[in-house]
Structure 1
Amino acid sequence: MSETPVKQNTAAFYGQAVASFAVAMAATAIGIYRLDADSWVRAFLGIAVLYLVTSAFTLAKVIRDRQDATARVYSPFEKL
């Protein structure tokens, strides 16, 4: 039996993902702040963006967990 090693992301990839997320959130926040609208409209858009971000994180976690659960099924007869 051969096991395939798990591929890990590099630190550069992780840093790029974090930086991309930070730039996107900052650009959205600046855009909402500078929007020519009432403050309640800007507040609503801000809350909507936060809800969308948290929903995206939750969806990504659920997909990752499902993929991890089906990635390797151990037989009760094989040595761990």
Structure 2
Amino acid sequence: METPQLQQDSAAWRFFVQVAFLISLGLMSLGIWELPVNLWIRGFLGMGLFFTVSSTIVLTKTMRDEHEAQKLIKCLTNAKTEKMLHDYEIKP
């Protein structure tokens, strides 16, 4: 039975993703702060930004967990199939 390979991202890719996230969050926050509107409108937009970011993070974690669960189920199914084939193998 072959073991499933774990995908590992490079350190450079993780750094790029984190920096891109921080830049986009920072620039969006700065853009909201610099809007020529009342403070309560800026607060409303800031809350919208916060909830959008937090729901995106939760969505990606949920999708990753679902994907990992499906990989585990497929791995177990393959192991059971290989065991059944091995048990019923014709011995000379």
| TM-score normalised by structure 1 residue count | 0.89
Structure 1 Cα separation of the partners of residues 68 and 18 of structure 2? 22
The structure 1 segments of at least 4 consecutive aligned residues displaced by more than 3 Å after TM superposition are 75-78
Mapping of residues 7-46 of structure 1, within 5 Å: 7-46=7-46
Number of equivalences: 78
Partner of 1:56: 56
Structure 2 Cα separation of the partners of residues 39 and 4 of structure 1? 53
Structure 1 Cα separation of the partners of residues 47 and 54 of structure 2? 11
Identical columns (%): 26
Structure 1 Cα separation of the partners of residues 4 and 22 of structure 2? 34
Structure 1 Cα separation of the partners of residues 59 and 19 of structure 2? 20
Partner of 2:90: none
**Unmatched 5+ residue regions in structure 2?**
84-92
Q: CA deviation at 1:72?
A: 2.5
| TM-score normalised by structure 2 residue count | 0.78
Structure 2 Cα separation of the partners of residues 23 and 31 of structure 1? 12
* SS of residue matched to 1:62: helix
Structure 1 Cα separation of the partners of residues 49 and 11 of structure 2? 27
Give the structure with the higher percent helix: 2
Task: Kindly provide the amino acid, as one letter, of the partner of residue 49 in structure 1.
Answer: L
Structure 2 Cα separation of the partners of residues 55 and 18 of structure 1? 17
The structure with more radius of gyration? 2
